[in-house]
Amino acid sequence: MSEMTYAQAARLGLQEEMRRDPTVWALGEDLGYEGGMAGQYSDLQAEFGDNRIVDTPISESTIMGAAVGAALAGTRPIAELRFSDFAMCAVDELVNQAAKARYMFGGQARVPMVARMPIGIRGGIAAQHSQSPEAWYTHVPGLVVVTPGTPAENRGLLKAAIRCDDPVVYMEHKGLWGMTGEVDESDQSEIPLGTARTVRDGRDITIVSWAAQVGVASEAAEVLAGEGVVAEVVDLRTLWPWDRETVMASVAKTGKLLVVHEAVRVGGFGGEVAAEVAEELGVPVARLGGERIPIPFSIPLEEAYKIKADRIVARVKEMLA
Amino acid sequence: MSEMTYAQAARLGLQEEMRRDPTVWALGEDLGYEGGMAGQYSDLQAEFGDNRIVDTPISESTIMGAAVGAALAGTRPIAELRFSDFAMCAVDELVNQAAKARYMFGGQARVPMVARMPIGIRGGIAAQHSQSPEAWYTHVPGLVVVTPGTPAENRGLLKAAIRCDDPVVYMEHKGLWGMTGEVDESDQSEIPLGTARTVRDGRDITIVSWAAQVGVASEAAEVLAGEGVVAEVVDLRTLWPWDRETVMASVAKTGKLLVVHEAVRVGGFGGEVAAEVAEELGVPVARLGGERIPIPFSIPLEEAYKIKADRIVARVKEMLA
Amino acid sequence: MTSNLANEPARVAAMFRKMLVIRAFEEAAGENFFVGHVRGSVHQYIGEESIAVGICENLRDDDYLTSNHRGHGHSIAKGADPRAMMLELFGKVGGTSDGKGGSMHIADFSVGMLGANGVIADGCTISVGAAQAVKLLGQDRIVVNFIGDGGINRGPFMEALNWAKVYELPVLFVCENNQIAATTTTRLVTAGEGIAKRAESFDVPAVTIDGNDLFTVDGTAARVISEIRNGSGPQLIQAMTYRLRGHFAHDDAGYREAGEAEAALAHEPIRRTEAWLLENGLSQDELDGMRDEVTAEIAGYVEDAKQADWPDPSLAFTDVQDVGAPAIPGVAS
Amino acid sequence: MTSNLANEPARVAAMFRKMLVIRAFEEAAGENFFVGHVRGSVHQYIGEESIAVGICENLRDDDYLTSNHRGHGHSIAKGADPRAMMLELFGKVGGTSDGKGGSMHIADFSVGMLGANGVIADGCTISVGAAQAVKLLGQDRIVVNFIGDGGINRGPFMEALNWAKVYELPVLFVCENNQIAATTTTRLVTAGEGIAKRAESFDVPAVTIDGNDLFTVDGTAARVISEIRNGSGPQLIQAMTYRLRGHFAHDDAGYREAGEAEAALAHEPIRRTEAWLLENGLSQDELDGMRDEVTAEIAGYVEDAKQADWPDPSLAFTDVQDVGAPAIPGVAS
Ligand SMILES: Cc1ncc(C[n+]2csc(CCOP(=O)(O)OP(=O)(O)O)c2C)c(N)n1
Ligand SMILES: Cc1ncc(C[n+]2csc(CCOP(=O)(O)OP(=O)(O)O)c2C)c(N)n1
Ligand SMILES: [Mg+2]
Ligand SMILES: [Mg+2]
């Protein structure tokens, strides 16, 4: 077991998979010298060469489109888009090509690629660098959507994403790059895609979340615990497929659901989870998410956007009242 | 009053607005000779000239980006993308520029443009020409999302979209181009954005839908009426903002909600509506939407994707059981 | 460009036959579109057959090809089975995708045909990625991408040109310049001299040829493909041609100057190749026999397609993805 | 390119002063980034000031400008108020966007500055659309777009070049070639001779100049802008320059060859312009005075920014949209 950051754990997972499988490679801007936005590729070009850690032109459409072609032709590319915001420059290639090739071609093709596109707010990078569009990709048949929440998960889920034969949208949260945690280097297994993690057991309400918001939800649960409310906190980890069984079992036990995400509430994935639970169990459900505003720059404005623990606490109390 | 098709009504609305306001113009592929995919621009180039009905290169990013620039510079462009599928080639320009300019620039800018991108299945055009990604754009602050369901609405809502100072994602349904209906040419008023239309009064359940699915829902309601179940059918018409008041009032009356859309169910806008209603009213909710598969080509496969009236009928009965 | 082909009448005849297959396939596709057997969009390759055949005859089976919306000819030339393609157009079991894809999504991975494409220019970025995989895997395949004259104005194509040269990838871009994109005269929306000049600005060697002349296409392809296989890096061939029909089967091309299409018939590749064969040893009878044979062959496929089974609706739910796949109706999950 | 500027020392001095304002602004932005007053990304324009000033001094107030991530210099040169810009970087009320945008989203529509941009090359497509509006409205404005050497490889830029020429739009593209994009040497990921050749392949006239020479930039801009205003259609200026600092304030540019940045100091525009002024009538005292004045001016803005109010959180909810706007907390809707 070693303590490492979320970024280091991702780097380790990638390095291990590249050592294991010579067809795994990565392409994107500034992967070589810079080593990626948070060092998640650092020094890998020295180890694997510049044809496996490929510095590309600023050509997002082609980063994504080339990954599709390379996956169709027998390799396992990781397309690094730096920000999920820039990945919007390549939505067509992801949605119209990567996600559909296997189906349109009647099963002749597989597209084993990872489209890596960090999400989330991090210190004033504002409207075009802070978005969390994970809900979009859950709506696209063919795609798998992963949102790791801890260092260990950023290694184990990345390994799973790389080994997966489907195109995986892999969304690290920029606010977590520096988060530290224990990673068991001796364990080379992947974390199965589609399995949630119960972060905290509870009985009064289930709080479902993912990515950076899991920490905030846990903080809220801690506060609530001090007031005698025992909340169960579930980290979905994978949004498609999401772990319906774990969530339904939890809500069946607690009788109430609150979904919390950093993404804008309107049209967010919280609606999917809440609606499914309401349909199946008929229990009270609620969602917290960002207001429907672009992410602002200035501290008090950015703070005004965020879902803090106190808002979660207040919402839970309302639901239990 | 004249009877005309959905496409003709759209053409009329555009023509009226272009006559009224010389800053309104349209740009896209094949608008001149072809007159748009369904004749919704036909002969307008002859009337307004090729600098107001502009035939463009096949450059979707620039069709959208140029519309943003032209809107910032004092005109009201309509960016025609032909298919919402191709509009994915210009998601960045729509989401990162059009939707955010006003906000990022602290209110200095307005982006009065229409991004016109038809949705839906129409006779075997398969996975890359049949998608309904309306939910995506409801998730993007700054955007208005409109889905007209009849000829009269395709005129009245288009007028409203053109007059609106916000960027409007205007999603005609390709399956409706030939639908006929009455249009009152003497009435130049717009249909206010954000207002739903109650298509059919009822008391036992509320069925909320939009675009082509409204017709299918009405068909189902007809069948149900024959069996003594009186369903209220609401056409949202605008998904953002959606008419919460009308929906809540209807569900408060009927006590049950079913949302039906052609788009993939997972991550669809039905989740938003169902979750809001469940949160607010605590009544049973359900959703019908496409399975999470790309739209297939062959008749039986395409049919297997569609939400037919019988499925709506069956779901309603289950809910009332 | 001189071609050895002129010394090989038998090879010319074989290529001519393939062109006939494409022509007959496209005629049948159009006819069956009009009577409603074929749905969706059908973009016919009529009048451009010499390009696909001239290029693909110079490829190996394991070379890759990416195509666009007008992909039937490319597919047949690369070796896809026209019978399976016809079944696909009819949406039937046995089609290249068992009816999941249709005309715009024909693919045959067994012969390196990585797919037609409904989105203009997306094949370009896919092709450079496939070429990167080829290099990484140490293979000596090459990748051919077909793109139209309208498609050259999409950004991803221009990015792909740069990309292909930066990594010196074994890619051949073939721009089929039929001078029109849907109903729009390409010249009116294309700045500058055109694609050859643009390619050269990326240091991608480009040559413009008469695409309707099978001999020129073959000779150019032979040279360029061998250069690429020997490491020249990417190249581009601009093949001038003419779209004899409307943009798709339901377009009467009424936007054309009167007489334009008729005049073009004199230059169309099948007539020209046929004339050469007549001068070089084949009799009219032999040629007519070949044509009848091909017509009958395609008619047989149409018959097969009519008779073939519709896919079971459950097929709509397969081959979406491994992880998080949809439930298949009627199958316990 | 000879410039009249050499005969106008007073104008040179005024432009020099503007360059000093940009330099001092950028130094202050960087310092305040390091101590945490400024958050987000700060891309400094240090070493490239002569380009923005040389170009924008030849524009009218009502001409439009679109910029990129490195937009402070462009904004100041176009006439945006550096005080409001500093407040914006601090996220304070009175900032160009009252703190909603920050460094990458500076805009001042009152002087035609249509915005910096966080997405590479998106300013290019916006600029051609603005130019289309100008034509439609019968105005005689022109539109200038600044793009980096890394940005030229994005498809939308190449689409925009074609588009600008097709419609003969009054657009001036200025490619600031500092030879690097973030940490990547652009040459290594850019095929061909570069942007001038590419532009010419679209029939967009292009000229490559020493961007660090104020006289050359001014002279070229004067000629090209007047040509464009007189209907020449789009043109491109490639201004060679050097990014004296890291990509952004928190980048030490350790990827550079040892001594490279030091060597470049000899060619940087402020020194060069200062040397000319010394030779052409200004005394060292006068120049030092000017520099002190500018430094004090910017220091004052920093002080103002420190003192200024934070925006009320409710401002986060305004100016999103008219229809379907979010509720403003604390305000009954
Ligand atoms: C991104 C995108 N934009 C628009 C279309 C619609 N479309 C299909 S074919 C076509 C014209 C293509 O012209 P060209 O590239 O010259 O090929 P040709 O049809 O002449 O073979 C257009 C505009 C599309 N399929 N994809
Ligand atoms: C579409 C997009 N891709 C990537 C980035 C990240 N990025 C910001 S600046 C930059 C380098 C830009 O280089 P260049 O265009 O040469 O401008 P310079 O910074 O040298 O002025 C990159 C890659 C971005 N902002 N937008
Ligand atoms: Mg063409
Ligand atoms: Mg640069």
Which residue is listed with tokens 């009467």?
A: C252
Q: C279: Cβ–Cβ under 8 A, 6 or more apart, which residues? A: none
Tell me the CATH class for D4-317. alpha beta
Which residues numbered 256-285 in C keep a CB inside 8 Å of some CB on A? Answer: none
Domains A2-183 and A197-320 share a fold: yes
- As a whole number of angstroms, the longest Cα–Cα distance in chain D is 66
Taking CB atoms and an 8 Å limit, are A139 and B142 in contact across chains? no
Task: Determine contact, residues D326/D320, Cβ cutoff 8 Å.
Answer: yes
Side chain identity at residue A51, one-letter code: N
Q: What residues of chain D lie within 8 A of the CB of A32, using their CB?
A: 183-184
Which pLDDT score is estimated for D142? Answer: 98
Query: Residue D173: how many CB atoms within 10 A of its CB?
Result: 27
Which pLDDT score is estimated for D56? Answer: 98
Fold of A197-320: Rossmann fold (3.40.50)
What are the helix (H) ranges across D114-213? 122-136, 155-166, 195-201
Q: How far is A25 from chain C (nearest CA, A)?
A: 9
SS3 D219: helix
Closest to B298 in 3D by CA, of C112, C94, C79, C297: C94
A60 Cβ closer than 6 Å to some ligand 2 atom: yes
Residue B116 pairs in a beta bridge with: B80, B170
Query: Residue C21: how many CB atoms within 10 A of its CB?
Result: 21
Q: What is the mean pLDDT of residues D27-53?
A: 97
In angstroms, the Cα distances linking B36 to B10, C139, D59 are 11, 45, 39
Which pLDDT score is estimated for D333? Answer: 55
State the Cα–Cα distance between residues B175 and B187, nearest whole angstrom.
Answer: 26
Domain boundaries, chain B: 2-183, 197-320
For chain D, give the percent of residues with pLDDT over 70: 98
Asked if ipTM goes beyond 0.90, one says yes
Which residue is listed with tokens 């709080």?
A: A207
pLDDT at A69 exceeding the cut of 60 = yes
Q: What is the mean pLDDT of each successive set of 10 residues along chain B, which is 321 residues long?
A: 97 98 98 96 98 98 98 98 98 98 97 98 94 98 98 98 98 98 96 98 96 95 94 97 97 95 96 96 87 86 83 83 83
Which pLDDT score is estimated for C1? Answer: 43
Task: Please report which confidence band the pLDDT of residue C3 belongs to, taking 50, 70 and 90 as the band edges.
Answer: low
In ligand 2, the atom with minimum distance to the C-alpha of D43 is 19
Q: What is the mean pLDDT of residues C84-101?
A: 97
What average pLDDT does chain C have?
96
Number of alpha carbons in the 13 Å side-chain half-sphere of residue D121: 27
Q: Which of A67, A96, A193 sits opposite C122 (nearest CB)?
A: A96
Residue C66 pairs in a beta bridge with: C145
Instruction: Say whether the peptide bond before residue B118 is cis (omega within 30 degrees of 0).
Output: no
What would the pLDDT profile of A138-174 be if each residue is shown by its tens digit?
Answer: 999 999 999 999 999 999 999 999 999 999 999 999 9
- What values do phi and psi take at B145, rounded to 5? -125, 120
pLDDT at C156 exceeding the cut of 70 = yes
Fold of B2-183: Rossmann fold (3.40.50)
Q: In this structure, is the dihedral angle defined by the CA atoms of residues B259, B265, B269 and B272, taken in order, positive or negative?
A: positive
How wide is the angle at C-alpha A264 spanned by C-alphas D86 and B97, nearest 5°?
50
SS3 C6: helix
Kind of pairing between the strands at A180-183 and A2-5: antiparallel
Q: How far is B117 from chain D (nearest CA, A)?
A: 19
Q: How far is B6 from chain A (nearest CA, A)?
A: 28
State the Cα–Cα distance between residues D316 and D4, nearest whole angstrom.
Answer: 48
Instruction: Say whether the peptide bond before residue B241 is cis (omega within 30 degrees of 0).
Output: yes
Which pLDDT score is estimated for C332? Answer: 63
Which pLDDT score is estimated for D1? Answer: 43
- The best mutation among A27, A29, A55, A58 to test binding of ligand 2, ranked by most ligand atoms within 8 Å of the C-beta, falls on A58
Chains with at least 3 CB pairs less than 8 angstroms from chain B: A, C, D
pLDDT at C184 exceeding the cut of 80 = yes
Return the higher-pLDDT residue of A66 and B296.
A66
What average pLDDT does chain B have?
95
Q: What is the mean pLDDT of residues A94-99?
A: 98
Which pLDDT score is estimated for B314? Answer: 85
Predicted TM-score (pTM) of this structure: 0.97
Measured in angstroms, how far is the CA atom of residue B241 from the centroid of ligand 2?
35
What would the pLDDT profile of B36-89 be if each residue is shown by its tens digit?
Answer: 999 999 999 999 999 999 999 999 999 999 999 999 999 999 999 999 999 999
In ligand 2, the atom with minimum distance to the C-alpha of D148 is 15
pLDDT at D2 exceeding the cut of 70 = no
Note the ligand closest to the C-alpha atom of B29: 1
Task: Please report which confidence band the pLDDT of residue D12 belongs to, taking 50, 70 and 90 as the band edges.
Answer: very high
